[in-house]
Amino acid sequence: TITHQTAPVKLLISGNHHESISFFVFPSPQTPVVLGHDWLVTHNPHIDWKTSHISSWSPYCLSHCLLSANLSVPVPDSSTPTPPDLSLVPSEYHDLQAVFCKDRASSLPPHRPYDCCVDLLQGATLPSSRLYSLSKPERECMATYISESLAAGIIRPSTSPLGAGFFFVAKKDGSLRPCIDYRGLNQITIKNKYPLPLLSSTFDPVQKATIFTKLDLRNAYHLVRIREGDEWKTAFKTPLGHYEYLVMPFGLTNAPAVFQSLVNSVLHDFIDKFVTVYLDDILIFSSNLSEHRHHVRAVLQRLLENRLFVKAEKCEFHASSVKFLGFVLESGRLKTDPEKIQAVRDWPTPTTRKQLQRFLGFANFYRRFIRNYSQVASPLTKLTSTKRTFVWTPEADTAFLDLKSRFSQAPILSRPDPSLQFTVEVDASDSGVGAVLSQRSPSDDLLHPCAFFSKKLSPAEQNYDVGDRE
């Protein structure tokens, strides 16, 4: 029986959650304070029962109860997930709308066998890092990021002896991307050698496909937990305080390997049959629309079952042509991405060795489309050597312009068909060798290139006769 009601009592929980509450008084010798179901629904604390630690609170708390932390941001007061925008998703997949839910993708994922481990080299000295200076817009963006991350439960306050620097880089659209300088931690981390797919063979299973769907996972790395007990190693420091991740942040040296391992495991029986995966990019391919719908549904269902969520606004469904990993994929054909080729065309003449290395690194991505690439680029690759002074010669300028021109005229590559005969043409010069792999198309009886190969010869190899070079 309730006997009294108190005046508002100041309540402090977990060191940073302030609130004034009027309590009802009733006889209860076993339980001195009961907060009740309504309070739990409003504040929705995320509790680690093993450590008795509260890692996050509801959006309501950010604007009403955590003011002393100076982290409040306007957040809708709602415990119901916002329905996803399915305007770009074909209606036949709307019953799987949960896989496109942004709110669910922002919540704390479960622990899995593929948690990110941060194992350190024995005897390694813990690195130190400086606190980065941030501009006013960056500080405002940082406060929003910290607030939303605390609310989602993906970070928590830290007392770790580590503390990587926190800063921002600008995105193409002008917005800011939060980054953490984990270079020191990465140097003393034992490397995970799980392999990433080879780009050169990623498209091999796609040869007879005519219809494609591209999926982009939302908050990809944040869908993976940090192994319990390793959270302190991810600590980072900001002007607002010291925090650590409960999920895998960007910048950890093992993050790509861990994520590739997770996705490969989830989709293992689909890969190379009707799915190819590179990190958070998933391509579904089929030979006809009816089959494709079945494949897309199977993948979406599998992702949802494993709490991996999809960014609907970045997806393409039922396309006859799709951009994937910097290439344009069509029925039986592989093309260069016009946007990337335009970047090569517009590339200014390098004035330093580092600028030239950057250009060659970019150009090397598309070398499979350029006949005799190594020979054409040879005058440029010579200038990347630190053993010689960087001097931009007429020969280098001619090679630079020639390479840009060849990229502008890059051919469309046919996908190899094992049922057709291959033709290999080889060529050798004093400085390199080249080859082209082709197949004769049944539709026009012409040879179409499937791939180009080129290699710069070493000084010893340059002494071979022409026959041995080829």
User: In this structure, are 346 and 326 located in the same domain?
Assistant: no
Q: Is residue 89 within 8 Å of 315, Cβ to Cβ?
A: yes
Q: Is 221 within a domain?
A: yes
pLDDT in 10s for each residue of the chain, 470 residues: 677 777 677 787 765 677 878 777 877 766 778 888 878 878 888 776 766 667 667 766 765 675 443 443 334 444 556 788 888 999 999 989 889 988 888 778 888 888 999 999 999 999 988 899 888 889 999 999 998 888 888 999 999 999 999 999 888 777 888 999 999 999 999 999 999 888 767 777 887 788 999 999 998 889 999 999 999 999 999 998 899 999 999 999 999 999 999 999 999 999 989 999 999 899 999 999 999 999 999 999 999 988 899 999 999 999 998 888 888 888 777 777 888 778 878 888 989 999 999 888 888 777 777 777 788 888 898 888 888 888 899 999 999 998 888 877 766 566 667 777 777 767 666 666 667 676 777 766 666 666 667 677 777 776 676 666 65
Q: Which of 315, 330, 345 finishes a domain?
A: 330
Which domain covers residue 306, as residue numbers?
91-330
Distance (Å, whole) CA 322 – CA 332: 12
User: In this structure, are 325 and 339 located in the same domain?
Assistant: no
User: In this structure, are 142 and 38 located in the same domain?
Assistant: no
Distance (Å, whole) CA 224 – CA 155: 13
Distance (Å, whole) CA 439 – CA 19: 74
User: In this structure, are 448 and 369 located in the same domain?
Assistant: yes
Q: Is 166 within a domain?
A: yes
User: In this structure, are 372 and 263 located in the same domain?
Assistant: no
Domain count, the chain: 3
- CA-based Rg of the chain, rounded to a whole angstrom? 28
Q: Which of 330, 349, 372 finishes a domain?
A: 330
Indicate which CATH number applies to the domain containing 129: 3.10.10.10
Q: Is 83 within a domain?
A: no
User: In this structure, are 391 and 274 located in the same domain?
Assistant: no
Q: Is 15 within a domain?
A: yes
- Report the candidate in 312, 162, 321 with the shortest Cα–Cα distance to residue 244: 162
Q: Is 276 within a domain?
A: yes
Distance (Å, whole) CA 357 – CA 392: 13
User: In this structure, are 147 and 169 located in the same domain?
Assistant: yes
Indicate which CATH number applies to the domain containing 405: 3.30.70.270
Tens-digit pLDDT profile for residues 397-429:
999 998 888 877 766 566 667 777 777 767 666
Q: Is 82 within a domain?
A: no
Res 452: pLDDT: 63
Res 181: pLDDT: 94
- Going edge to edge, which strands form the sheet with 322-324? 322-324, 327-330, 333-336, 413-414
User: In this structure, are 202 and 345 located in the same domain?
Assistant: no
User: In this structure, are 216 and 302 located in the same domain?
Assistant: yes
User: In this structure, are 180 and 315 located in the same domain?
Assistant: yes
pTM summary value:
0.68
Distance (Å, whole) CA 410 – CA 420: 24
Distance (Å, whole) CA 125 – CA 123: 7
User: In this structure, are 53 and 169 located in the same domain?
Assistant: no
Q: Which of 284, 302, 330 finishes a domain?
A: 330
Q: Is 182 within a domain?
A: yes
Question: Residues with Cβ < 8 Å from 69, sequence gap 6 or more?
Answer: 16, 240, 241
Distance (Å, whole) CA 93 – CA 304: 12
User: In this structure, are 63 and 127 located in the same domain?
Assistant: no
Q: Is 286 within a domain?
A: yes
